[in-house]
């Protein structure tokens, strides 16, 4: 059943993000590395897509190209039909490593982009309050990043990206450095924020459970040189609570993805 629905499922809605024949070759001292073979895919407006793939298959490279932090060797990326060129506030980013500005407190971090844009103090206060509540960190607005746990830091990083109201949110293993319990909680926090903000999200992960739990579609990448191997739509009903991880449906997806990933991981060893 799952396999029947995989490739080329009819696209509902308009494509928000189009990746067209994007490839990347890194030139290094020891020669050329093909990090990404020509890859194409689209993401619809409001869709939550997770990319799952073995280590070193080029997941971060795709995301960095979309963010404009890395230039593609070939192909192009379109956001709302327009070719992207360099980084910009229309594509928010959350990294795996902690990237809060340590000299700014939580509130100032969340409103960093707004302040750059000249948004008034009053409006910034309102936005900050809204996102603090959304990520469940009311009362922490005056804390500095050094005083926060890893999970709290990543919540603030998500709020900071969302507060800027980007067209798409790019997340590169944002929970990769967190312990399993915190990770599960963070997934629920993120889903709640996504449902509330109706953002389009491109989320990278190693973790099969995480990819299923969050996604409308899981894109599986092949081992290096990376390319898109398969698109697996996840039709588990929303809103999703942590209990869906125990369902038969979830287990079926997991089995399918695990075997796909296993094939690829074996190749990359």
Partner 1 sequence: MLAKWFTPNKEIPKSVYTSAGLITFLLFLVFWSVLSYGGIVNPLFLPTPTVVLATAIDLLFNGELLSNIGISFTRVLVGFLVAALIGIPLGILMGSLKIMEGAFEPIIGFIRYMPASAFIPLLILWIGLGESEKMSVIFLGTFFQLTLMIMDVTKNVQNELIEVSYTLGAKKLQVFTKVILPAALPGIVDTLRITFGWAWTYLVVAEIVGASSGLGYMIMQASRFLQPDKIIVGILIIGLLGLLTDMIFKAIYRASFSWMRKDGF
Which positions lie near partner 1, rule CB under 8 A? 67-69, 86-89, 91-93, 95, 97, 99, 101-105, 112-113, 116-117, 144-147, 160-161, 164, 166, 170
Q: Is 55 in the site for ligand ATP (CB under 6 A)?
A: yes
94 near 154, Cβ under 8 Å?
yes
User: What's the Cα-to-Cα distance from 138 to each of 9, 84, 101, 158, 176, rounded to whole Å?
Assistant: 41, 36, 19, 15, 24
d(CA 217, CA 233): 4
| Residue 80 tokens, joined | 């709302």
Binding mask 43-62 for Mg ion (x = CB under 5 A): -----------------x--
Q: How far is the CB of 154 from ligand ATP (least distance, A)?
A: 16
| Cβ distance to partner 1 smaller for residue 31 or 118 | 118
CB 161 within 8 A of CB 203: no
The residue range among 3-11, 27-35, 141-149, 210-218 that interacts with ligand ATP, by the rule CB under 6 A, is 27-35
- Contacted by 50, from Mg ion, ligand ATP, partner 1, none: CB < 5 to 8 Å by type: none
Q: Which one of 15, 58, 145, 151 is in contact with ligand ATP (CB under 6 A)?
A: 58
d(C-alpha 189, C-alpha 239), whole Å: 12
171 contacts 201 by C-beta, under 8 angstroms: yes
Question: Per-residue string for binding with Mg ion, 103-142, x by CB under 5 A?
Answer: ----------------------------------------
Least separation in angstroms between CB 172 and Mg ion: 6
Token code pair at residue 157: 């990083």
How open is the CA angle 122-124-129, to the nearest 5 degrees? 100
Considering CB distances under 5 to 8 angstroms, the limit depending on partner class, which of partner 1, Mg ion, ligand ATP, none binds residue 224? ligand ATP
The option from ligand ATP, Mg ion, partner 1, none interacting with 120 (CB < 5 to 8 A, set by class) reads: none
3-state secondary structure of 91: strand
Pairing of strands 228-233, 217-221: antiparallel
Footprint on this chain of Mg ion (rule: CB under 5 A): 60
């Amino acid at each position: 059943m799952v396999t029947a629905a995989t490739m080329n499922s009819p696209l509902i809605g308009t494509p928000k993000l189009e990746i067209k024949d994007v490839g990347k070759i890194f030139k290094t001292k020891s020669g050329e590395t093909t990090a990404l073979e020509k890859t194409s895919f689209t993401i619809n407006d409001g869709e939550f897509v997770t990319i799952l793939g073995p280590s070193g298959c080029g997941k971060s490279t795709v995301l960095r190209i979309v963010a404009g932090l890395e230039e593609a060797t070939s192909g192009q990326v379109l956001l709302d039909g327009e070719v992207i060129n360099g980084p910009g506030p229309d594509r928010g980013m959350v990294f795996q490593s902690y990237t809060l500005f340590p000299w700014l407190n939580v509130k100032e971090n969340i409103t960093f982009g707004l302040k750059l844009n000249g948004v008034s103090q009053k409006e910034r206060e309102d936005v900050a309050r809204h996102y603090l509540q959304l990520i469940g960190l009311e009362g922490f607005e005056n804390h500095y990043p050094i005083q926060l746990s890893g999970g709290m830091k990543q919540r603030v990083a998500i709020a900071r990206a969302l507060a800027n109201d980007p067209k798409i949110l790019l997340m590169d293993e944002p929970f990769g450095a967190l312990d399993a319990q915190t990770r599960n909680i963070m997934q629920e926090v993120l889903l709640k924020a996504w449902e509330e903000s109706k953002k389009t999200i491109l989320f990278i992960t190693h973790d099969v459970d995480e990819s299923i739990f969050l996604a409308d579609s899981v894109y599986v990448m092949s081992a290096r040189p990376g390319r898109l191997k398969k698109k697996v739509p996840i039709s588990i009903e929303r809103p999703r609570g942590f209990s869906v991880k125990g369902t038969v449906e979830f287990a079926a997806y997991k089995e399918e993805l695990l075997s796909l990933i296993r094939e690829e991981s074996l190749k990359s060893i």
